[in-house]
Amino acid sequence: MATPWDNAAQGYVEEWMPRFVPYHMDLIREVKLAPGQRVFVAAAGPGAEVLAAAREVGETGFVRAVDSSAMMASICREKVEAAGLKNVEVLHGDASEIDGGTWDAVLCAFGLWQLQDRVTGLKAWRKGLSQAGKIGILTWGPTEEDDLFERVARCLQHCEPDVASPNPKSFALRDPMNEMFEKADLTMVRHTVVRHTLSFKTAEAFIAALKESCTWRRVWEDLGDARLGKVAARFYGLVGGPDAPLAWSPPATLAIAGVPGSEIDIASRASVRVPVTGSVPPPSAVKK
């Protein structure tokens, strides 16, 4: 049986992947991969960071990409083959299944919220890390009132109060993120917010694109066009109508963690000794 991600895969690649690539590149840059390293990409989706990681580690390195959606894994595999990359393996499977040796980096972009037990997943990734391995996470948030994703979600809540949708931003804040890492016996060494501008010619185009994401695809399939149309109408009333052009810069949280006591390299600070106490450097923000 197809999953919501399978159903939304092709539309997601067309509508969202080009818009989200800059965020994925932020993750690759901050984690600071090196030639010859082994990288595990969990919840790889169509593979934006997979291709970038493979190029960073070079022919002597290796990347394994895993996604729970068979369609997403298939699309990722096609992109890898089209790019002529020989150092990548793409699998359809669970994001926490990290067998096959030790890994110098584990990456998860916009997929951690999908894990039923995030701490268990992080513990599995930690177990697979090499001595100087690191985990790089990218997730939406923190929540901002004027974020268009938030505004349309509030319209859904108003029109369909019984329809629940996951909130991937609930653990993006510094303290919850740090606590989550500590429960997995990891220490966070980097926590920053990155932004890139997303734009749509019209609000109507934005709503059409929104249907091609996992969460909203599921909502659309459950409600149907008529009921979701009422949600869209309320949203249009807030943003100036269906023909109004939209542009905003949604925040995403980028976090990096390592094994306490180990020494890792990241872009912002070379040769970081990972604190054993769970203390974290002062917060910072990167705006693109």
Least confident range from 86-95, 127-136, 186-195, 262-271: namely 262-271
Please give the helix or strand (H or E) that residue 217 lies within, else none: helix 214-239
Residue 277: what pLDDT? 58
Residue 200: what pLDDT? 97
Strands 284-285 and 187-195: parallel
Which of 269 and 158 is assigned the larger pLDDT?
A: 158
Beta-bridge partner residues of 40 = 64, 106
Residue 19: what pLDDT? 96
Least confident range from 109-113, 210-214, 236-240, 281-285: namely 281-285
CA angle 11, 16, 124 (to 5 degrees): 100
CA angle 253, 259, 265 (to 5 degrees): 65
Residue 166: what pLDDT? 55
Average of per-residue pLDDT values in the chain: 90
Strands 251-258 and 129-140: antiparallel
Quick: pLDDT tens for 56-68.
999 999 999 999 9
Residue 288: what pLDDT? 42
Q: Is residue 286 scored above 60 in pLDDT?
A: no
Highest mean pLDDT among 5-9, 171-175, 216-220, 236-240: 236-240
Average pLDDT (78-82) is 97
The candidate with the shortest Cα–Cα distance to 285, out of 261, 247, 253, is 253
Least confident range from 9-18, 52-61, 92-101: namely 92-101
- Residue 10 CB neighbours (<10 A): 14
Residue 24: what pLDDT? 97
Q: Is residue 144 scored above 90 in pLDDT?
A: yes
Q: Is residue 164 scored above 90 in pLDDT?
A: no
Residue 210: what pLDDT? 92
Domains of the chain: 4-142+168-196+250-285 (3.40.50.150)
Which of 100 and 243 is assigned the larger pLDDT?
A: 243
User: Hey, what are 221's tokens?
Assistant: 């399939």
Mapped onto helix, strand or coil, the DSSP state of residue 134 is strand
Q: Is residue 231 scored above 60 in pLDDT?
A: yes
- Residue owning tokens 């040796």: 101
Average pLDDT (98-116) is 89
Q: How far is CA 168 from the centre of its chain?
A: 10
What whole-number percentage of the chain has pLDDT above 90?
A: 74
Least confident range from 8-12, 122-126, 133-137, 148-152: namely 8-12
Which of 283 and 195 is assigned the larger pLDDT?
A: 195
Q: How far is CA 73 from the centre of its chain?
A: 15
Sign of the dihedral through C-alpha 193, 167, 161, 231: positive
